[in-house]
Chain A
Amino acid sequence: MGVADAPVREAGWRVTAASAAANAILSASGVSKSFGGLKAVQNFALAIPEGGLHGLIGPNGAGKTTVFNLLTGVYKPDTGTVRLGGQEIQGLRPFRIAEAGMARTFQNIRLFGELSVLENVKLASHVRVRHSMFGAVLRSPLHVGEERAITQRSMELLKVFALEGRAEEQARNLPYGDQRKLEIARALATNPKVLLLDEPAAGMNTREKADLRGLIRQVREQFKVTILLIEHDMGLVMDVCERITVLDYGVVIAEGTPAEVQVNPKVIQAYLGSTEEEAAEEARKEREHAGVVHTPRSAGPVTEAMSPRKTAEQQGRGE
């Protein structure tokens, strides 16, 4: 693979947390979104330095995928700004944001089922294509060159994910774990600066999850991308992420390193339940955050409490 288009970085290229906000490649501040009376996300803020690996966690219905949707242009934020590499991107359509260099995967796999594995990845190169339809219809030199390049790049990408053997298979015939990997490969084909992964480990077994940890790190190193991921598997998150933002009821309740977040009392409370006074406070918040039905939280260990259970709202959205 060639070098990134950005200036070459040496080994110490990951900036420290202190200058993170200033050097952030992806930052958000004051982002809020309401659906009717439901305040899905309030005053969300984020700053990820270039090359960073950031986690976004929170109990069910906390608004994590909504944040993703706000960052990638699926929703327009009611207030706030989102910046990608210095450029303001809030309110832009998703394809413009992909053009600007942010790509994502989806919580419920959204592959192009009838197309082949290779075609799924090739499609994602479209955003970088320069030739026009007239060029395609006349098979201009630029068209031929870009098609060859697209095929080459896509096959190389598939090799990284060990999918090149299945290149001609229909995407929907792939086993589940491979489909998830294909989604990541496809997102990478857009040549992004920032990669958003929405629950990449969902539905995977222990072995696959262990492989995924290595894969995420490898992707960051090899493709020089910044990664933001939503995940429920605490083991994976704590192991892989450098910093974590915790969301509850649409509000950021904690942000810091894995070690800091793990002992944060608000985080523990959000995941593990509370005393009676705290329960009354929760009920008040729940009325304000109307419409979201929460599954009862168990008082077991932190990891057990975070098994992904969809809220009625999420089911309603068809996720």
Chain B
Amino acid sequence: MSTLSAQADALRPSAAASAAKGLWPYVAAVGVALLVQAVLKPALGAYDAILMLNVGIAVILAVSLNIVNGFTGQFSIGHAGFLAVGGYVSGAVTYYGSMLAWGNADARGGVLSGMPRSIEGLPLLTGAELMFFAAVVVGGLAAGLVGFLVGLPSLRLKGDYLAIVTLGFGEIVRVMIQNTQPVIKTAAAVREAPFYLLPVSVGQSLGFGDIPKYNSLFWVYLVVCVTLIVAFRLKTSTFGRAFLSIRENEIAAEAMGVNTTRFKVWAFVIAAFFAGMAGGLYAHTLGVSLSPVDAGFQKSFDIIIMVVLGGLGSISGATLAAVIVTLLPEYLRGFIVELGTVLWVVGAVMAVSSVAKLGYLKKNARPLPGRTIGVAVVGGLLVVAGLGGPAVLPKSIGSEVNLGDFRMIIYALMLILMMIFRPQGLFGVHEVWERSTWGWLTRRFGKRGGA
């Protein structure tokens, strides 16, 4: 066989041709972001616009984590730590930069920034806004660097141990933020303060809320699009195959010439970079006060839920799950149902499904598992309790249930049930447009009985 290089040189396109093909998605990203800002923002109203913004940030976080957990199969559960690093670093840059340059930390953005504002008389883009975005990128780079320093020693560890170390990392970041200095509030004090003090004066547990609020749908969706493009292009390249091979069979991957350590660290660093950018955007969002909690495991678990539900390894899955997980609380909030109704509906589902399964097994002369009978019985009891209402239930429980309280319980149950019944998540490692994602459908409903 001729060498790869020889064959490749013969097949490579001209620089001009590939420049156009290579760069157009990034240009389109700017266009999409402009469209979102121009059309969606006014259409949605203030509250929903912020919601869309949060959805975008969630997508960046989920897709970035997917690179480590999904593509490469390494279990990192401290991703929020990178979010916090990026947020605090970029916030400090913008805040103290503004203080030094203009004497205060007011937002001086143009048409594209901030949420919501009247846009009369504003320029399209201001220097201050560019500083903000540069700060966001710096935040990403800082997070990437931290990712490198943490990843290099840790990625030797396997499975559970790596998970614990990454969890510990997130906690260390949280505690270190709690031990920083208070924010310096006046321009004069900022000018007097020694330079090295500025990066660590970020507010401790009180939070860092004075960051000028430049973030807008435009900036968020610009980064969202770039993240998606990068993730997709990586996945469909030889590097994506390398990441996936490590996840599938690390020993074979190494034997086939993949430097597994280098790739694991790279995955970590890239994911950290985008999470840091997400953090930077988050820090500059209206209504947000950055706090140490943003580095903690609760936030990390939120992101994990998105990635696991969507499918470890699927970009479209992670995106979809991020959207759903961010929007669901909005629909559940204030959704008050009668406790009785909840009980008998849940009970009915349990009872009917297990009785149906028992019937099927009985018909095929198979043994009846005790667990299914148990579920049927419990289901029946719940139905009785639900229908019986106040006569059956103890007073202290109350008669109403606010589904908003149940949000995390629903997620937790979904995680558990997913792992039992569909461990690969919604789309598995495939994308929504790939045929292999829907194979299980054709197998179930296509040929009689399947393979």
Contact = CB atoms under 8 A, between A and B. Distances in A.
Contact of B436 (A128, A150, A170): A170
A127 B256 CA distance: 7
B4 A144 contact: no
B258 A127 contact: yes
Contact of A114 (B6, B21, B248, B258): B248
A103 interface: yes
Interface in A101-134: 103-104, 106, 110-115, 119, 122-130, 133
A189 B261 CA distance: 22
Contacts of A110: 249, 251-252, 255
B435 to A, nearest CB: 8
A208 B6 CA distance: 35
A223 B1 contact: yes
Contacts of A74: 251, 255
B233 A144 contact: no
A243 interface: no
Nearest to B2: A2
B357 interface: no
Contacts of A143: 237
B280 to A, nearest CB: 20
B260 interface: yes
Name the prevailing secondary structure of the B interface residues. Answer: helix
B8 interface: yes
Given A138-B23, A147-B238, A149-B7, A115 B248 contact: yes
Nearest to B231: A137
Given A115-B245, A142-B12, A145-B12, A187 B256 contact: yes
Contacts of B10: 145, 149
Interface string A243-270: 0000000000000000000000000000
Contacts of A4: 1
Interface stretch (A11-19, A31-39, A92-100): A92-100
Nearest to A142: B12
A202 to B, nearest CB: 17
Contacts of A190: 256-257
Given A95-B258, A141-B18, A123 B239 contact: no
Contacts of B272: none
A136 B239 contact: yes
A95 B4 contact: no
Contacts of A223: 1
A137 B234 contact: yes
A94 B13 CA distance: 34
A140 to B, nearest CB: 6
Given A95-B260, A136-B239, A139-B21, A112 B251 contact: no
Given A115-B241, A136-B233, A152 B7 contact: yes
Given A114-B428, A123-B258, A149 B233 contact: no
A95 B241 contact: no
Nearest to B244: A115
A153 interface: yes
Contact of A140 (B9, B22, B256): B22
A149 B8 CA distance: 5
B255 A94 contact: yes
Contact of B8 (A2, A133, A137, A146): A146
A310 interface: no
A114 B8 CA distance: 27
A104 B249 contact: no
Interface of B: 1-15, 17-18, 21-23, 229-230, 233-234, 237-239, 241-242, 244-245, 248-249, 251-260, 266, 313, 428-429, 436
10 contacts: A3-B2, A4-B1, A98-B256, A112-B252, A114-B248, A128-B4, A137-B234, A140-B18, A145-B10, A153-B7
Given A123-B241, A139-B22, A147-B237, 14 more contacts: A2-B6, A3-B2, A99-B257, A103-B255, A106-B255, A113-B249, A114-B429, A123-B244, A127-B258, A128-B5, A136-B239, A144-B11, A144-B18, A149-B8
